[in-house]
C-alpha cells in the first residue's frame, strides 16, 4: 500500500504569520499520525519562513511514523540531516528564494555533486530520494548517482489531469516503470490532490509514498484534518 506522508510546512507558515506557537507544529504532526498518516514531511529553508530547524529537532524524538526531510543539499541542510537522521532525505534543486519546488534535478549535469551527497547520507543510514521529472535520463542518472528512490515531480500531471487524465499520467507510468527496472523505489509529490490522486495511484499502484501538503492542509480547512487524511488515504486504496 502506498504511504501518505503529510507535509506540514503550511501549518508552520500559518504559525509564523502571527508569531507565537499557534497552531503548534508538533501537535499537528502527531495528530496527523494519530489520524492515519504514515509519515511526516518537512522542508526547512534557510530563511525559516515556515519550518524552522528547531521544529525539526522537536519532531524527531516524538514521531512514530516515517520522518522525511526535504531540501536543497547545501552544507547547513546536510549538517541538519546528519544530526537528526530522519528515515528519509529528499533532495530537491530549489534555490533559497523559490516559493516552492517547480522542477526536478538535472541529475546528469549534477551527477558528481549528487553522488557525493547521496553517499554521505547513505553512509549515515538515511534512505535517499531525488526529486526528478518524468524523464528517463534523469531517472537513470539518479540511479547511477546512488539514490535509493526518486520522487516524481507531479505538477505537470496535475495541470493536465482535468483536460485528459490518460495523457497526463502516461509519461509518469513510463517513468515509474523505468525507475522500477533500475531497482529504485518511487515516491511522488507536488500538486497531488483529492481530485487527481486516485487516478494516479490506480495507474501506478506500486508507488511507495506520496508527499502532500498544500492541497491537504487546504482541504482540512473545510473537512477537518482527521476526515481529510482519511479521504486522502481512501484515494490510495
Task: Report the run of H or E that residue 143 belongs to, with start and end.
Answer: helix 136-145
Question: Which of 33, 140, 190, 208 is an active site residue?
Answer: 190
Question: Which of 43, 50, 140, 209 is an active site residue?
Answer: 43
Which of 75, 126, 133 shows the shortest CA–CA distance to 108? 133
* Number of residues written out for the chain: 237
**Are residues 169 and 188 in contact, defined by beta-carbon separation less than 8 angstroms?**
no
List own/partner pairs for 61-65 with CB under 8 A and 24 or more apart: 62/26, 62/29, 62/30, 63/29, 63/30, 63/33, 64/33, 65/33, 65/37, 65/38, 65/39, 65/40
**Are residues 194 and 231 in contact, defined by beta-carbon separation less than 8 angstroms?**
yes
- All cell numbers assigned to 145: 548517482
How buried is residue 97: exposed, middle or buried, by Cβ count under 10 Å (0-12/13-18/19+)?
Answer: exposed
Which of 143, 139, 68, 149 shows the shortest CA–CA distance to 105? 139
Active site residue 190: yes
Question: Which of 33, 66, 70, 208 is an active site residue?
Answer: 70
Half-sphere exposure of 98 (CA within 13 A, CB side): 12
Cα Rg of the chain (Å, integer): 17
> Which residue numbers are catalytic?
43, 70, 190
Amino acid at each position: 500500500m502506498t504511504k501518505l506522508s503529510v507535509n506540514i510546512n503550511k501549518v508552520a507558515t500559518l504559525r509564523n504569520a502571527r508569531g507565537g506557537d499557534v497552531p503548534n507544529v508538533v501537535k499537528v504532526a502527531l495528530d496527523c499520525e494519530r489520524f492515519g498518516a504514515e509519515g511526516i514531511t518537512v522542508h526547512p529553508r534557510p530563511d525559516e519562513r515556515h519550518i524552522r530547524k528547531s521544529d525539526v529537532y522537536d519532531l524527531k524524538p516524538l514521531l512514530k511514523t516515517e520522518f522525511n526531510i526535504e531540501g536543497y543539499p547545501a552544507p547547513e541542510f546536510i549538517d541538519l540531516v546528519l544530526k537528526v537522521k530522519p528515515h528519509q532525505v529528499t533532495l530537491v534543486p530549489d534555490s533559497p528564494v523559490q516559493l516552492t519546488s517547480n522542477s526536478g534535478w538535472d541529475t546528469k549535469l549534477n551527477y558528481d555533486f549528487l553522488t557525493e551527497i547521496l553517499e554521505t547520507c547513505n553512509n549515515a543510514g538515511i534512505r535517499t530520494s531525488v526529486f526528478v521529472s518524468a524523464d528517463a535520463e534523469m531517472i537513470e542518472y539518479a540511479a547511477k548517482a546512488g539514490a535509493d528512490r526518486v520522487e516524481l515531480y507531479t505538477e505537470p500531471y496535475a495541470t493536465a489531469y482535468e483536460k485528459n487524465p490518460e495523457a497526463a499520467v502516461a509519461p509518469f507510468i513510463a517513468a515509474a516503470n523505468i525507475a522500477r527496472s533500475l531497482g529504485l523505489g518511487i515516491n511522488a509529490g507536488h500538486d497531488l490532490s483529492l481530485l487527481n490522486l486516485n487516478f494516479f495511484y490506480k495507474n501506478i499502484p506500486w508507488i511507495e509514498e506520496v508527499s502532500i501538503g498544500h492541497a491537504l492542509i487546504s482541504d482540512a480547512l473545510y473537512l477537518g484534518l482527521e476526515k481529510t487524511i482519511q479521504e486522502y488515504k481512501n484515494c490510495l486504496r
